[in-house]
């Protein structure tokens, strides 16, 4: 690892691993505080898109610094072979893990997570940035159990330089918006769709558009035939279903913005359904 990184931080055990990166726990030599060091091996990056992502991620994270629900980047180090990013340490189970353990969440708990996630998204959108790969695995929690939106490698500016719309196939099966798959230009409301999928999964335990393969899943996403099976949604409030219908609307022009969603009655009333209050 590079000399300046080793001077500033004590690198400890591995706590995560991805295609191009390894994440380590580390300690600040100055303060003793704990952080996460994401070390990206640049020698594994041959695709121009991947190279662009690792260059863009730290810039966007720095630009978004200051919001309590976005993973903060603290330092950047680079040598010939590696890019090292120092982030907040988030060792609590991810949103994906929490849903997996519990199968589904209560409306009140789903509401709390959703409100924090949508607050982070609204902040990004106000600054002209779309995340474009929102999924439960990218929703982390710190030691105070505070939600942190992470992984801005696929993020894009959509307002600066006169470029209002975006293009390109990005995202993850189950969560990607239909307009991305259709090859159209699209706007920041692709993030609203992804958050709608997450909310659906939190409330039911299953994705709204499921196939036995990625291709079949994509076909169902593009069709956008939204249903609420009685056995899964019997106890879910009408307000939550109304919110889901609005978010998982195929037409992005009628899909609400992140700011508008924060004013939806279900979000504002804390997710308390009549069944839960009685």
**189-204 vs 95-102: helix axis angle to the nearest 10?**
30
Alpha carbons 128 and 148: distance in angstroms, whole number: 19
CA 186 to chain centre: 18
Whether 50 is a known active-site residue: answer no
CA–CA separation, 229 and 121 (whole Å)? 28
How far, rounded to the nearest angstrom, does the alpha carbon of residue 276 sit from its chain's CA centroid?
A: 28
CA distance 104 to 203: 6
| Nearest by Cα to 46 from 80, 75, 10, 20 | 20
For residue 252, give the nearest of 201, 203, 179 by alpha carbon. 179
Q: Which residue has the tokens 């439960």?
A: 136
**What residues does 17 pair with on adjacent strands?**
22
* Beta-carbon contacts of residue 238 (< 8 Å; ≥ 6 apart): none
Catalytic residue, candidates 116, 133, 151, 187: 133
Instruction: For residue 130, give the nearest of 181, 88, 177 by alpha carbon.
Output: 177
Smallest CA-to-CA distance from 156 within 115, 118, 119, 127 is with: 127
The catalytic residue positions are 133
């Amino acid at each position: 690892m590079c000399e300046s990184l080793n001077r500033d931080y004590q690198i400890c055990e591995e706590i995560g691993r991805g295609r191009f990166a390894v994440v380590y726990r580390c300690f600040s030599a100055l303060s003793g505080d704990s952080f996460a060091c994401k070390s990206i091996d640049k020698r594994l990056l041959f695709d121009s898109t991947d190279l662009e992502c690792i260059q863009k991620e730290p810039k966007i994270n720095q630009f978004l610094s200051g919001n309590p629900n976005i993973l903060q980047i603290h330092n950047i180090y680079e040598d010939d072979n590696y890019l090292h990013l120092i982030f907040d340490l988030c060792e609590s189970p991810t949103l994906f893990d929490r849903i997996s353990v519990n199968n589904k969440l209560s409306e009140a708990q789903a509401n709390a997570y959703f409100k924090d996630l949508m607050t982070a998204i609204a902040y990004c959108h106000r600054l002209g940035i779309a995340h474009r790969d929102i999924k439960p695995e990218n929703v982390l929690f710190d030691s105070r159990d505070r939600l942190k939106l992470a992984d801005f490698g696929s993020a894009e500016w959509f307002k600066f330089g006169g470029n209002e719309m975006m293009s390109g196939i990005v995202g993850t099966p189950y969560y990607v918006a239909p307009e991305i798959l259709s090859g159209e230009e699209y706007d920041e409301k692709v993030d609203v769709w992804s958050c709608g999928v997450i909310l659906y999964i939190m409330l039911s335990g299953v994705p709204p558009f499921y196939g036995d393969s990625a291709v079949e899943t994509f076909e169902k996403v593009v069709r956008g035939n939204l249903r609420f099976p009685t056995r899964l949604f019997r106890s879910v409030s009408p307000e939550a279903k109304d919110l889901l219908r609005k978010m998982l609307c195929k037409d992005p022009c009628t899909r609400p913005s992140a700011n508008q969603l924060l004013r939806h009655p279900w979000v504002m009333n804390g997710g308390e359904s009549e069944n839960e209050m009685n």
